Amino acid sequence: MNQTFTKFGKLYSLIFTVAVLALQTPTRLTAQEKSATRGAAGLQVLYDFSEQKGNIIHDRSGVGAPLNLKIENEKGVRRTHGALQITGKTLILTDKAASRLSEAIKRSGEVSIEAWVTPSDLGLSGPARMVTISKDSSQRNITLGQDKDKFDVRLRTTKTTTNGTPSTSTPSKAVKKKLTHLVYTRQRSGQARLYVNGKRTVDKKVAGTLENWNPTFRLALGNELSKDRPWKGTFHLVAVYSRALTPKQVQVNFRAGPDAKTTGGPAIASKSPQEEFFETKVAEVLVNHCFECHDSASKKGKLDLSRKLTALAGGESGKVIVPGKSSESLLWEQITSGDMPPAGTPLTDKEKSILKKWIDTGAVYSTERIDPVLYAHGVGDSTLWVQRLTVPEYIETVRSTVGVDIEKEARALLPPDLRADGFSNTAYNLNVDLKHVNAYSQLAEKIVSKMDVLKFAARFSKSKKLSTDDTMREFVESMGAWIFRGPLDGREERTYSGIATTVASAGGDYEEAVSFIIEAMLQSPRFIYRIESQQGDGSQWPVDGYELASRMSYIIWGGPPDQKLLNAAKAGDLYDLENVEKQIQRMLEDPRAIEHSTMFITEWLNLGQLDDLSPSAKRFPNWEAALADDMREETLAFFKDVVWDQKRPLADLMNAQVTYATPRLAKHYGLKPKGEGLERYDVSSVPFRGGLMTQGSILTVGGDDASMVTRGLYVLHGVLRGTVNDPPPGLDTTPVPSKPGLSHRGSAEKRISNVSCGGCHKKFEPLAFGLEKFDGLGTFRNNDEHGNVLREDGEILFPGEAKPVKYATSAELMNLLAGSERVQKSLTWKVTQFALGRPLVAADAQTIEKIHKSAQKEGGTYAALITSIVMSDLVQMTKTEQAE
């Protein structure tokens, strides 16, 4: 390589330092620039031609199984270190299909081809193939070629031909017999660009998606697979990416030159390695060993390590962290000397090395504040689980897909989904038992029996032919794409159209065949599960259009995409964020969005517990079971009112001065009953009502005794996302009953002042002080059954804050909650968790912070939050696993 590079070195001049964009020819690189490394985000194959002998060109990408190239006719090439010159007839190709490469590109919807080349013949046409993934002269996925003095790229999409035409060409005179850096990029949105020596020469749209890429094609250099489009010139470097390199990345690679090292690995890094290290390693050590004394609340030595600003500013002894220099950092000195931590478990050697490495690599503190809740149980398990449809999702999916209401049967037959991490749509917990399989089978039959099968089938095919040689396969393809929420592959078409032939062979007719096909599809993995591609290179990959459509619809509607959304996915429109946002707005206006949002509130507040409410009849002789239903309806109606009718910020759920009650519930609450059903009540003149926490659905969580411990923990975990250690083993947690002279508040204060208990109890019991005047069923009173005078004043310590805030009344507590950024963020976290169907982990924190800020900027409403979530990387991207 060096020899060749030197040969062209004279071409490099200092012009480069003046204006990179103006470059027409490469320039000499400065030492600093020359040491620059090439970016490798999305790299799939890399050939640097470093071998001087042999007929193999090794793939140096380090991604997956190497796709080495073989030179068919060695006499047709001349190899030097770092270059391969084509001098005669030859073909350089992979010895197998470039499936890994094509699949990765097909999946991402994006592609870049980068080549450092020196053309030697300006008369070539065809175009002459420089880099191609193709089968022959008329079938390809992509080809970078030369057509006389133009560079030309043919890209197969659903809107171009199988030959990739119309192509994208540079203007004339782009090809010169000089060392040239060429980059073609094509984004998911269709935006295609061709850069020559760092300069963008073409910028156009190539519509369609890459779904029709053929993974059986090989990758070849210097000629077409059919050997009839030879190229002449020298290759210095060839790289293919499953990403559209950004203009900046193109510049970096151009500047780096053809012999630069490639770094950064294949992953597309949404975070720097330092940020990742801080979030997944450093923060956990700080939380577990330092925060007891050095968080915002304790701040010993005036050092608060829980916040970026204060941590880097230091304490009363000055700066404790000197980025890049652990030896000069007091923090490190105190740890190595053993002075810190003064008590508790000392740091392990591994933990020490983490902190040292952190400081020495720049002490990147990637978040404004470390939230201890993220590390309460380690950094969290981010295992990727396929999501089975929950029971409500199954019901809605059946309804939307085939127009059958199967709710009654499904709820009777399917086992209920169990809650995990606060929600019952948590993917890892959505397992399957024999009862599910039996239920899916029975339900499929029942669903089909309720359908007008022929009418349904007519949506997808006018033909009623059973033969797979005629229209059955096309019919299955069309109907399947609707039922499966995305296109079928050949395997699936064969599987399901095969049922038609089986039915035919049994003497059955078209209707019977369609019925059985639907029955099978309703039990298939692509119906029961939200199947997504999770294979990749271990990094975050964009989801494809159909996967995104399903993510959007299940997040917003709890059901499948409608035809408009599927059409958008098919057209590739969802690769454009503007279109995604338009779709979100459209979907939020659909009544299904409202219904599904009530699932969130139901899950978040665990309203299902009301089904099991059975208060002591002796203690509450006036209780009737219907009140539990009324309480649930109250909360749901209240939620719809605040969130959808008034479109208020979500945090206003804490103090909105309105509620809904049946006459029965109004009487229970001490309100003047009105109407006959659920009625809206303005409670602005009722000082003790107003906000979720004052509703029976929440107040009943404390049981008959209105336990302050239970209520306090409910607020701490559910509303503030706070953490508290588990009670010591063997502790009697039986609630202490109130008695004359000792109210619940009195018992709580005793616990808080107790040395053994107070450390934890002070974090959550005061949160329930403001609720003491509500009995176990939510009735307001000023004295308990023993005549003790009840109080509603207290104080609240928001997690992460230094000092508690006092409140005098229940209403003031509700206002504090509504105005708290912590509560607002908690709502963001809860909605996000529900949307994703998985517990959130430390690695999500940065993205959720962005979601939160974005949503707050737009008013902090549910709609704004959902929009921010869907637009975020948490929905647009997916973690992948490295292929085995």
Partner 1 sequence: MKKTNISRRTMLKGVGAATIGLPLLEEMLVSTASAAAKTDVPVRAFNVFFGLGIPSPLQTEGFDGVLEPLKPLGDKLLIMRNVDQVRCDESGINAHYDGAAGAFTAEPPDGEAKSGGPSIDQVIRESHYPKGLPKGMVSTLIGGTFFRRSRVGRYVHSYNMNGTVAATIQEKPRDLFDRVFGYISLGGDDTDVRRRRLKRSVLDSVVDDYKFYTGANSPLGAASKSRVADHLDRIREFEQRAFALKNTAEGAPGLPPRSNVAHGGQADPGGEGIDMKLEDLRTEWRLMADLYALAIQMDRVRFGSLTFLAAGERLRVTGDYKYDGRLIYKFNDEKDLRKSGSGGCSHEWWHQFNEKKKNEQLRAHAHMKMQEVAYFLSRLDDADSKEANGKSILENSLITISTESGDGRHNDVKRELSGIFHAITGANDRFKTGQIMDIGAEGLDVYNTMLGAFGTKKRMGPEDRESNRIEKILA
Residues in the chain: 884
Residue 548, both tokens = 């995104």
465 forms part of the interface with partner 1 (CB under 8 A): yes
Which of positions 851-880 make contact with partner 1 (CB under 8 A)? Answer: 880
Nearest-approach distance from CB 824 to partner 1, in angstroms: 33
**Least distance (Å) from partner 1 to the CB of residue 496?**
6
Contact with partner 1 (CB under 8 A) among 246, 367, 441, 779: 441
Nearer to partner 1, 172 or 383 (CB): 383
Say whether residue 251 binds partner 1 (CB under 8 A).
no
**Contacting residues for 33 by C-beta, under 8 A, at least 6 apart:** 16, 17, 255, 256
**To the nearest whole angstrom, how small is the minimum distance from the Cβ of residue 469 to partner 1?**
4
Q: Which amino acid belongs to residue 880?
A: T
Pick 137 or 523: Cβ nearer partner 1:
523
Residue 86 backbone dihedrals phi, psi, to 5 degrees = -90, 120
Among 114, 351, 409, 532, contact with partner 1 (rule: CB under 8 A): 532
Residues 535-564 close enough to bind partner 1 by CB under 8 A: 535
Look up residue 280 and give its DSSP letter. I
737 sits near partner 1 (criterion: CB under 8 A) = no
Query: Which of residues 436, 640, 717, 850 is near partner 1 by CB under 8 A?
Result: 436
Question: Is residue 343 part of the contact set for partner 1 (CB under 8 A)?
Answer: no
Nearer to partner 1 (CB atom), residue 349 or residue 884: 884
The two beta strands, 92-94 and 218-221, are: antiparallel
Residue 226 binds partner 1 (CB under 8 A): no
Q: Which residues of 462-497 are buried (b: 16+ CB within 10 A; e: fewer)?
A: eebbbebeebbbbbbbbbbbbbbbbbbeeebbebbb
Q: How many Cα atoms sit within 13 Å of 534 on the Cβ side?
A: 10
Tell me the three-class secondary structure of 216-248, residue by residue: CCEEEECCCCCCCCCCCEEEEEEEEECCCCCHH
Nearer to partner 1, 215 or 859 (CB): 215
Q: How far is the CB of 505 from partner 1 (least distance, A)?
A: 5
**Residues near partner 1 (CB under 8 A), total:** 58
Beta bridge partners of 714: none
Report how far Cα 58 is from the mean position of its chain's Cα atoms: 35
Site string for partner 1, 380-419 (x = CB under 8 A): ---xxxx-x-------------------------------
- DSSP lists the bridge partners of residue 118 as 234
Helix (H, G, I), strand (E, B) or coil at 708: helix
> Are 488 and 480 spatial neighbours (Cβ–Cβ below 8 Å)?
yes
CB of 460 to partner 1, least distance (A): 17
Among 316, 349, 433, 732, binds partner 1 (CB under 8 A): 433
For partner 1, which is the closer residue by CB, 486 or 778? 486
Distance CA 174, CA 179 (A): 12
Cα distances (Å, whole numbers) of residue 79 to 47, 52, 221 = 13, 5, 14
| Residue 450 sits in the site that holds partner 1 (CB under 8 A) | no
Taking the complex as a whole, how short is the minimal distance between the CB of residue 270 and partner 1, in angstroms? Answer: 19
> Does 96 interact with partner 1 (rule: CB under 8 A)?
no
Backbone dihedral angles phi then psi of residue 788, each to the nearest 5 degrees: -65, 140
Q: Indicate the residue among 534 and 622 with the shorter CB distance to partner 1.
A: 534
479 touches partner 1 by CB under 8 A: no
Is residue 523 a contact residue for partner 1 (CB under 8 A)? yes
At closest approach, how far in Å is the CB of 390 from partner 1?
14
Report the nearest approach of partner 1 to the CB of residue 550 (Å).
14
Instruction: Report the residue number, 448 or 671, with the smaller CB distance to partner 1.
Output: 448
Considering only the C-alpha atoms of the chain, give the largest distance between any 2 of them, rounded to a whole number of Å: 104
Q: How far apart are CA 818 and CA 798, in angstroms?
A: 12
Q: Please, which residue, 192 or 517, has the CB nearer to partner 1?
A: 517
**Pairing of the two strands 111-119 and 199-205:** unpaired
* Contact between 437 and partner 1 per CB under 8 A: yes
Q: CA 472 to CA 479: how far, in whole Å?
A: 10
The binder of partner 1 chosen from 531, 736, 742, 877 (CB under 8 A): 531
Query: Which of the stretches 189-197, 239-247, 463-471, 743-751 binds partner 1 when contact is defined by CB under 8 A?
Result: 463-471
CB of 269 to partner 1, least distance (A): 20
Closest distance between partner 1 and the C-beta of residue 432, in Å? 4
> Whose Cβ is closer to partner 1: residue 53's or residue 491's?
491
Least Å from the CB of residue 749 to partner 1: 47
User: Tokens standing for 621?
Assistant: 């002789």
Q: How far is the CB of 436 from partner 1 (least distance, A)?
A: 7
Provide the mask over 480-519, with x wherever binding to partner 1 is found by CB under 8 A and - wherever it is not. Answer: ----------xxxxxxxxxx-xxxxxxxxx--x---x--x
Q: Output the smallest distance, CB 709 to partner 1, in A.
A: 36
DSSP, residue by residue, 190-217 = SEEEEEETTEEEEEEE--S-STT--TTP
Toward partner 1, which CB reaches closer, 300 or 526? 526
Give the residue among 284, 490, 485 at the shortest CA–CA distance from 396.
485
Alpha-helical segments (H) within 67-133: 99-108
The answer to whether residues 882 and 547 touch, using CB atoms and an 8 Å cutoff, is no
Q: Which is nearer to partner 1, 216 or 782 (CB)?
A: 216
Q: How far is the CB of 123 from partner 1 (least distance, A)?
A: 35
Question: In the set 84, 528, 720, 817, which binds partner 1 (CB under 8 A)?
Answer: 528
On the CB side of 668, CA atoms within 13 Å amount to 29
189, 209, 242, 524: which one binds partner 1 (CB under 8 A): 524
Interacting stretch for partner 1, rule CB under 8 A, among 10-18, 392-400, 434-442, 611-619? 434-442
Q: Which residues, at least 6 apart from 680, have a Cβ–Cβ distance to it below 8 Å?
A: 637, 641, 658, 659, 660
Closest to partner 1 by CB, 493 vs 765, is 493
Contacts of 755 (CB under 8 A, 6+ apart): none
Query: Within 13 A of 193's CA, how many CA atoms are on the CB side?
Result: 20
| C-beta closer to partner 1: residue 114 or 492 | 492
List the beta bridge partners of residue 205: 191
Contact between residue 103 and residue 234 where contact means Cβ atoms under 8 Å apart: no
User: Which tokens in the block code for residue 501?
Assistant: 């032939």
Least separation, in Å, of the C-beta of 395 and partner 1? 19
Q: Which of 833, 809, 808, 805 lies closest to 820, judged by CA? A: 805
Interface segment toward partner 1; rule CB under 8 A; list 324-332, 405-413, 464-472, 851-859:
464-472
Between CA 14 and CA 26 the distance in angstroms is 10
Rounded Cα distance, 109 and 142, in Å: 13
The residue ranges that bind partner 1 (CB under 8 A) are: 383-386, 388, 428, 430-434, 436-438, 441, 465-470, 473, 490-499, 501-509, 512, 516, 519-520, 523-526, 528-529, 531-535, 880-881
